[in-house]
Chains A and B, each alone.
Chain A
Amino acid sequence: MALVSGPGRGGMDSMPAEMRLFVDKHVRYIQSLDSRKDELEYWLTEHLRLNGLYWGLTALHLLGHPDALPRHELLEFVFSCLHENGGFGAAPGHDAHMLYTVSGVQILATLDAFDELEKRVPGGRMKTGQYIADLQDPETGTFAGDEWGERDTRFLYGALNALSLMGLLHLVNVDKAVDHIQTCANFDGGYGTSPGAESHSGQIFTCLAALSIAGRLDLVEQDKLGAWLSERQLKNGGLNGRPEKKEDVCYSWWVATSLAMLKKLHWIDGAKLTAFILQCQDPELGGLADRPGDMVDVFHTVFGIAGLSLLQYPGLAEVDPVYCMPRAVTARCLSRQW
């Protein structure tokens, strides 16, 4: 267990008002998300339900409230999204897809519930691993999102993320996947969605994290990429995703964690970034938004809080830059003898 040392919540109360993280409000906001069934938005976002659970659960763990959502109900929901082929859909009745399969695995990892998966579906872990592995393109090494074939470095990262958490990396050709990432590299040191595509911070995160899992960060043009990433910070402290774009809290995660993987987080102003993220809180009802004064959502809430954890904001659990999960969880999974 590697919690960042800090004064904890008692210490936070003595902080200047603008530096305060409204932990209890955020916890209540996340707890309230599933009780909004009388809002049309709840139904229109059903295709993100399993991602949403992963975002909310991770945020709660980082906030130090790991039990704020009922474990049993969470697991019931996760298993209700599991398909016969081992893949997960976004919600019951939604098709299996890499994006939700990764969230499903991440939730099971966080709840330490792989054994429960085995109880429900004998050989379930292997089935899920195989579902992911079958999406690898044997020619290029990249991964498709599902049977319909869209390919993107997001799916490649997701595959390595979930497989490594389950101790099943050997099911895929990691070297080929690494080769594919290299074909997505650009002159600025960054990476795009596919060969030839422009560098984009989200995609840089996925490629760096995948290379970290593969143990091949040595292939990265670290100084060049670090320089490009550090230029994402704008005067107001926030980070953007590409040159000449606006700042956004979700990029505070993708850019900052990429810098952290390159051990160059000190190349940007951490205090200013912290202040920017804190300004994106809704101090009344909890949650974080993309920019100060905007509508909050659980996606920006987790990435904002994960960013704060990376910046060692006092009282938060340590986040793993590669997985966007609590370090304690990834340490447990990655050291497990299956």
Chain B
Amino acid sequence: MASHGVSRVIGTNIRSAEVRQKEIEQIAAYKNLVDLVNTKITERKYTIEVLGLVTKLLNENPEYYTIWNHRRRVLGGLFDVPPTGGSPTQTPHGEELINGELQLTFALLRKFPKCYWIWNHRNWVLRKGESLSDTEAARKLWSGELQLIGKMLHADSRNFHAWSYRREVVAYLERTPASISSSTSPILSQSLAESEYEYTTKMIKTNLSNFSAWHSRAKLIPRLLNERGADNAARKQLLDSELALICTAINTDPFDQSIWYYHQFLMSTLSPECSRQNQIVLGLSNMDRQKYYAHEIEYIHEIIEDEADCKWIYVALLHLATSYLEIDGGTNAFTTVDMRSWLEQLKRLDPLRRGRWAELGSSLNI
């Protein structure tokens, strides 16, 4: 009912009698299974056998959200049953059940990486695991999740479900203290900001156009600086190294918009309007700001030589020029004639957004 990327083949609506018959049988089998599961749930048969039926059905249709709810109902019943040692129809123990759920959802996520209900169930399972086991075991469970997400992001580095889930897992690990083996060992910092920051570096180095990674990085930087207790020299150093990184990226592929958004983010932290918690360097004077803007204008202007037809250059130049003028920087770094020519380039290179460029022209009064 909502399909993506499936080609329309002419004539698929004409099915042979054989195909139709087969489909009718499939439908009957599927409906029988649905009815059977629903009946068992109505009868509150929360057994391992019913769990198996539910598994079968979810493998056929992981989008059937009610069946996921049924699954949690069955699991809830099974968790409540004390383990019956010895007998052949042994009820599995909480931990075994949890592991089974993790395996099932992992297998399904490999096939349906964008299905909300599967991610949702996995999350529920981990929370359940947290309440069933001791902190150490729960922490181990959650740490394992980072590996799963690593695999998912390896398959699709922009899967926003996986990125969201990663943030949740990290938040969990951060709020649950690691056990300290001996009383003499120092209390370890629980924050994972440093390692998450490194993770974004790794992802960006694999693929510069990974906006999800740049986004994460932008969110991590203010926290990182706070946790490092960074003084202004260290803050300035970080900004400069981020600028160096992004400038290399711009040089590598100036047509990639994710890179320019990150550049825009770094520039926005310089603005007098940037809230203190989002600032990278604190207490900038307008003179400092001008220097940064002028430096970026000069650097980006140089790229025009090789890439005169890259619209992002002109977008950035106009942005920087506007910021420069806003802090009353005068026009030493550029002239109104420059700005007008940049805008002309945008109109020439980017006719899709001509309405936006016309409005920009009148708001800048150039």
A→B interface (CB under 8 Å) = 38-41, 43-48, 51-52, 89-90, 93-95, 97, 146, 148-150, 186-188, 192-194, 196-200, 226-228, 230-231, 233, 235, 237, 242-245, 248, 250, 264, 266-269, 272, 282, 284-285, 289-291, 293-300
Closest 9 CB pairs of A and B: A299-B2, A266-B355, A267-B356, A45-B1, A295-B6, A198-B215, A269-B352, A95-B66, A94-B66
Which residues of B101-160 have CB atoms within 8 Å of chain A's CB atoms?
116, 120, 123-124, 158, 160
A290 touches B4 (CB 8 A): yes
B13 touches A285 (CB 8 A): yes
The complex places the Cα of A44 from the Cα of B29 at a distance, in Å, of: 12
Partner of B1, one of A93, A282, A299: A299
Given contacts A95-B66, A267-B353, 14 further A-B contacts (CB under 8 A): A38-B23, A43-B30, A45-B63, A146-B69, A196-B219, A197-B167, A200-B160, A243-B211, A243-B258, A289-B3, A295-B3, A295-B6, A296-B8, A297-B1
Partner of B2, one of A48, A197, A230, A282: A48
B3 touches A290 (CB 8 A): yes
A193 touches B8 (CB 8 A): no
B215 touches A38 (CB 8 A): no
Residues of A within 8 A of B268 (CB): 187
> Contacts A40-B27, A294-B7; is A230 near B353 (CB within 8 Å)?
yes
A294 touches B5 (CB 8 A): yes
> Contacts A193-B164, A243-B211; is A93 near B38 (CB within 8 Å)?
yes
Residues of B within 8 A of A295 (CB): 3, 6-8
Of A44, A94, A198, A228, most B-chain CB atoms within 10 Å = A198
Residues of A within 8 A of B212 (CB): 198
Residues of B within 8 A of A192 (CB): 160, 164
B207 and chain A: residue at smallest CB distance: A244
Residues of A within 8 A of B44 (CB): none
A43 touches B31 (CB 8 A): yes
Where chain B touches its partner, the secondary structure class is helix
The complex places the Cα of A318 from the Cα of B72 at a distance, in Å, of: 43
B292 on the A face (CB < 8 A):
no
Residues of B within 8 A of A242 (CB): 158, 160, 211
B60 and chain A: residue at smallest CB distance: A44
A199 touches B215 (CB 8 A): yes
The complex places the Cα of A59 from the Cα of B61 at a distance, in Å, of: 27
Which residues of B235-254 have CB atoms within 8 Å of chain A's CB atoms?
none
B160 touches A293 (CB 8 A): no
CB distance from A96 to the nearest CB of B (A): 10
Residues of B within 8 A of A293 (CB): 7-8
Residues of A within 8 A of B8 (CB): 282, 289, 293-296
B356 touches A227 (CB 8 A): yes
Residues of A within 8 A of B258 (CB): 243-244
CB distance from B246 to the nearest CB of A (A): 14
B120 touches A40 (CB 8 A): no
Which residues of B65-93 have CB atoms within 8 Å of chain A's CB atoms?
65-66, 69, 72
Residues of B within 8 A of A300 (CB): 2
CB distance from B159 to the nearest CB of A (A): 11
B172 on the A face (CB < 8 A):
no
CB distance from A145 to the nearest CB of B (A): 8
The complex places the Cα of A243 from the Cα of B257 at a distance, in Å, of: 7
- 8 A–B contacts, CB within 8 A, in A order: A44-B60, A47-B63, A93-B38, A93-B66, A148-B120, A230-B356, A242-B160, A294-B5
Residues of B within 8 A of A52 (CB): 1
A193 touches B353 (CB 8 A): no
B64 on the A face (CB < 8 A):
yes
Partner of B3, one of A46, A186, A196, A294: A294
A244 touches B66 (CB 8 A): no
B310 on the A face (CB < 8 A):
no
B218 touches A187 (CB 8 A): yes
Of B20, B65, B72, B264, most A-chain CB atoms within 10 Å = B65
The complex places the Cα of A46 from the Cα of B31 at a distance, in Å, of: 11
Residues of B within 8 A of A43 (CB): 27, 30-31
B278 and chain A: residue at smallest CB distance: A187
B232 on the A face (CB < 8 A):
no
Partner of A248, one of B4, B20, B215: B4
A197 and chain B: residue at smallest CB distance: B164
A91 and chain B: residue at smallest CB distance: B66
B209 on the A face (CB < 8 A):
yes
B167 touches A188 (CB 8 A): no
B309 on the A face (CB < 8 A):
no
B12 and chain A: residue at smallest CB distance: A295
Partner of B211, one of A41, A244, A266: A244
Residues of A within 8 A of B160 (CB): 192-193, 197-198, 200, 242
Residues of A within 8 A of B1 (CB): 41, 45, 48, 51-52, 297-299
A47 touches B215 (CB 8 A): no
B116 touches A150 (CB 8 A): yes
Residues of A within 8 A of B10 (CB): 284
Which residues of B8-38 have CB atoms within 8 Å of chain A's CB atoms?
8, 10, 13, 20, 23-24, 26-27, 30-31, 38
The complex places the Cα of A293 from the Cα of B160 at a distance, in Å, of: 27
Residues of A within 8 A of B229 (CB): none
> Contacts A148-B120, A285-B13, A294-B5; is A38 near B27 (CB within 8 Å)?
yes
